[in-house]
Amino acid sequence: MNTTIRPRLHPTRPWLAACVPLLACILLLGSCINLQHVSDYATASGTQLENYNSLGYSFSQACTDACNINSLRDGKLDTPPCACAADATADSVTTVLYKTLHTYFDALAKLSDKSTAHYKMTGLSKGLQAGSFGSVTISAEQADASTKLAGLLTDLIAGSKKQKKVKEYIGRADSSVQVLLQALAANLRDNLGGKLRVQQAYLQGLYTDLANDPKATQWERVRAVQDYRAAVQAAKTKNAALDLYAKGLDKLAQGHHKLYLDREKLTLDECKAALDTYSGQLSDLGEAFKKLKNSN
């Protein structure tokens, strides 16, 4: 008669049975490690970045507005075609910065959660080239950061590990993320915002002349003042949106650098608390942005 011999754990070593689930967990590449707080922070960061699509203003629009102001100053009824090709290129470069960063934080959110990651790489560039593109200038450092981050994302897709890669992923990405976040903030807050401030100065001079024109009727003077106030308020609201969005990018940079510094202790309560704070601050900035946009 055939007898099947079944291996049994030694009766005096019950701890061995208790260790089996733990060993299995380790062998499954750390899938039992809870990094949901990292995923939540990355998701909040991605949501903050997505406000880029709601800014409602661009370098191309600024170019068109400048043309309209010049036509008004020259007393022309029709605005001639505007030479805005360089500004359209500036918009494209700025959008590449946004998409690269958004793809990174989307990948980080999925890499650190408990589900199987499906990374979205649609529209991701291989990297920017250094040079001047209308009102936007990409430095060699920014071009290098863009190329490195795009390469890191490509490597991530090719890899098969998950939780164990989070620390390495953050460590390799932080310097590039910092450079690109600063570049995006500067393009919007300083370059595009600067165009709005120049427009406000032009409008002030133009409408002051109209309001003080001795040949103008009282109705024309009043109308000039009303139009000026409306135009300036619209420019201020656009500038406020750009500034608020840039503040969100600054907060994003701070949070990611904190994550980088704490990458060796991602599961500790201190790290969780810090990321929860940054996630909350990003949420508050997002709500303030929506409130500002809805006030128009």
CB 45: neighbour CB atoms within 10 A? 30
137: helix, strand or coil: strand
- Between CA 265 and CA 267 the distance in angstroms is 6
**pLDDT given at position 288:** 65
pTM value is 0.75
Q: Could you tell me what percentage of the chain is helix, strand and coil, using 3-state DSSP and rounding each to the nearest 5?
A: 75, 0, 25
Mean pLDDT (whole number) for 92-97: 90
Stretch (H or E) spanning 133: strand 131-133
Place of tokens 């500004």: 87
Strands of 134-250, DSSP E: 136-138
Give yes or no for residue 115 having a pLDDT over 80: no
- Between CA 184 and CA 193 the distance in angstroms is 12
Q: What does the buried/exposed string (b/e) look like for 6-24 if buried means 16 or more CB atoms within 10 Å of the residue's CB? A: eeeeeeeeeeeeeeeeeee
Query: pLDDT tens digits for 239-291?
Result: 999 999 999 999 889 888 988 888 777 665 655 665 566 566 566 556 665 66
Q: For residue 231, which of 25, 39, 73 has the smallest C-alpha distance? A: 73
Mean pLDDT (whole number) for 73-101: 83
Tokens of 219: 């109705």
Give yes or no for residue 187 having a pLDDT over 90: yes
In the Cβ-directed half-sphere of 12, how many Cα atoms lie within 13 Å?
Answer: 0
Give yes or no for residue 222 having a pLDDT over 80: no
**pLDDT given at position 28:** 32
Q: Which is more confident, 118 or 56?
A: 56
Q: For residue 135, which of 68, 194, 80, 79 has the smallest C-alpha distance? A: 194
Q: What does the buried/exposed string (b/e) look like for 61-100 if buried means 16 or more CB atoms within 10 Å of the residue's CB? A: bbbebbbebeebeeeeeeeeebebeebebbbebbbbbbbb
Q: Which is more confident, 239 or 128?
A: 239
Q: How far is CA 92 from CA 23, 35, 253, in A?
A: 50, 35, 22
Query: pLDDT tens digits for 161-170?
Result: 454 578 888 8
Read off the pLDDT band of 202 (50, 70, 90). confident
**pLDDT given at position 25:** 32
**pLDDT given at position 18:** 37
Alpha-carbon Rg for the chain in angstroms: 27
**pLDDT given at position 246:** 93
**pLDDT given at position 227:** 78
Read off the pLDDT band of 147 (50, 70, 90). confident
